[in-house]
Amino acid sequence: MPQERRFIMQGELAHVPEACHFVRESARMVGLSDKQADDCELATEEWCTNIIEHGYHKHGLQGRIEIVCQALPSVFRITIYDDSPPFDPTTLPTPDRSAPLQDRQPGGLGWFFIQELMDTVQYEYRNGRNTLIMTQHDPNVGDPAPAQPDSAFPARTLANGVRVITPSGRIDSATGRQFEAALNAQLEAGFNRIVVEMQSVTYISSTGLKVLLSALRRAQAQGGGIALAALTRRVREVFELSGFDTIFTLADATDAAARLLERD
């Protein structure tokens, strides 16, 4: 995702699902797990509901809510701004979660959830706005050279039945899963002889190598193989340094790579 995504909505409960969707989508785009995205989504609903019910409606007000999602190094940050009267949630009592059912009080749970679900939560009244800053930590977030958001991996079939797939940009922890899914889709479609055209791949990380290796094992288990064609010098160096050049069939051009798979 871009470094920063912004969403502005009218502070009404009917719009909260859109806010949840926006945050969830942003969290997934930066590579957070499903569970982390779930937690971000729930924390967002809880805070937006607080703003609408206790900030705006209780005072007979209407107003907006602004949400900013940012991919920082190792951190996914959600900042939620609103213009309702100052409301410091850190003064709220903690609900007694060991109380028997009959003694449970309605309310208070939302703020408790937010604190439990997120790694850090910080409230400020800044420039006349309530500002809640929440973060989730993930080592995959905020790669200094952000991965290409493009999830398309063009594929074609050669006359000899070999399938060619052409990734581009960086293959790293952010894009590795998409690449893995694209390779798996080919294998599941019955293509077990695959040439990966690498001329447009600018960088490959250990995650990318692992994805290729696991696809190779699957292809071999089906009696096929994977060959790599047209690696840039930089990418070839990664293969040589890691010893992966001895595991994979490498060729200068796609046709040559495909012929090597035929002989296999």
Partner 1 sequence: MHISVSEMRRVTLIEVSGRVDSLSATKLGETLNEQIEAGHIQLVIDLSNVEYISSAGLREIVSAAKKVRSSGGDLRIASPSQRVRDVLQLAGLLELFQIFPTQVEAVGSF
Can you give the binding site for partner 1, defined by CB under 8 A? 13-14, 16-17, 20, 38, 41-42, 45-46, 49, 52-53, 95, 97-98, 100-102, 104, 106-107, 109-110, 113, 116-117
Rounded to the nearest whole angstrom, what is the least distance from the CB of residue 69 to partner 1 in the complex?
A: 19
> Closer to partner 1 at the Cβ: 42 or 227?
42
> Closer to partner 1 at the Cβ: 100 or 243?
100
Rounded to the nearest whole angstrom, what is the least distance from the CB of residue 58 to partner 1 in the complex?
A: 14
Query: Per residue in 154-190, is it b (16+ CB within 10 Å) or e — as a string?
Result: ebeebeeebbbbbbbbbbbbbbbebbbebbeebbeee
> Closer to partner 1 at the Cβ: 48 or 209?
48
Instruction: Please check whether residue 164 is in contact with residue 21, taking contact to mean a CB–CB distance below 8 angstroms.
Output: no
> Closer to partner 1 at the Cβ: 21 or 210?
21
Rounded to the nearest whole angstrom, what is the least distance from the CB of residue 34 to partner 1 in the complex?
A: 9
Rounded to the nearest whole angstrom, what is the least distance from the CB of residue 30 to partner 1 in the complex?
A: 21
What Å distances lie between residue 97 and 1, 44, 100, 155, CA to CA? 38, 21, 8, 54
